[in-house]
Amino acid sequence: MTGPRLLIGDIAKRVGIARSALRYYEEAGLLAAEARTDSGYRIYGERAERRLWFIKRAQSLGLKLAEIKQLIDSPRATRDAERKFFQAVIAAKVEETHSTILALQSQARHLDELASALDTQPPPDSCHLGDCACWLPA
């Protein structure tokens, strides 16, 4: 192993993630310790740090750990095949994001309608908001 030899707390701090997240990534097959000390402590190097930065960046773009694992585990046959696979995963994520945006816009419209309805015609005094849905428009 070349470069720095980092213990779990050191690398977690450098990347800005919790130690428990790092352990979870290891259990999920996203990362492996590059070595262990005689007493069993995990040791990580530059490769692991680059992998963690990749995971963190991918998560910030909305990729789920399963999708990130797909990318990490993708065949490394050729650079072109790797790029095409990555493009397909990203294209699917873009489509999913657009669908989510549309659903959230629809939800926002419904909430605006509900807020307006509650302003103009509050529920009857006999209605307890937590017990009935008469105040929710269909």
- Does residue 134 have a pLDDT over 80? no
pTM of the model: 0.72
Of 18-22, 89-93, 105-109, 120-124, least confident by mean pLDDT is 120-124
Distance CA 47, CA 64 (A): 21
The pLDDT-based confidence of 135 (bands split at 50, 70, 90) is: low
Residues shown for the chain:
138
Please give the distance of CA 11 from its chain centroid, rounded to a whole number. Answer: 20
Closest residue by Cα to residue 34 from 19, 50, 13, 18: 50
> What is the token pair recorded at 138?
């269909």
% of the chain beyond a pLDDT of 90: 51
Task: Kindly report, residue by residue over 54-100, the tens digit of the pLDDT.
Answer: 999 999 998 999 989 988 887 776 788 888 888 988 999 999 999 99
**Residue 1: pLDDT over 70:** no
Q: How distant is the alpha carbon of residue 97 from its chain centre?
A: 13
Q: Is residue 21 very low, low, confident or very high in pLDDT (cuts 50, 70, 90)?
A: very high
Q: What integer pLDDT is reported at residue 10 of this predicted model?
A: 94
Task: Identify the band that residue 109 occupies on the pLDDT scale cut at 50, 70 and 90.
Answer: very high
Q: For residue 78, which phi and psi values (nearest 5 degrees)?
A: -140, 160
- What number of other Cβ atoms are within 10 A of residue 129's Cβ? 12
Question: Average pLDDT, whole number, for the chain?
Answer: 87
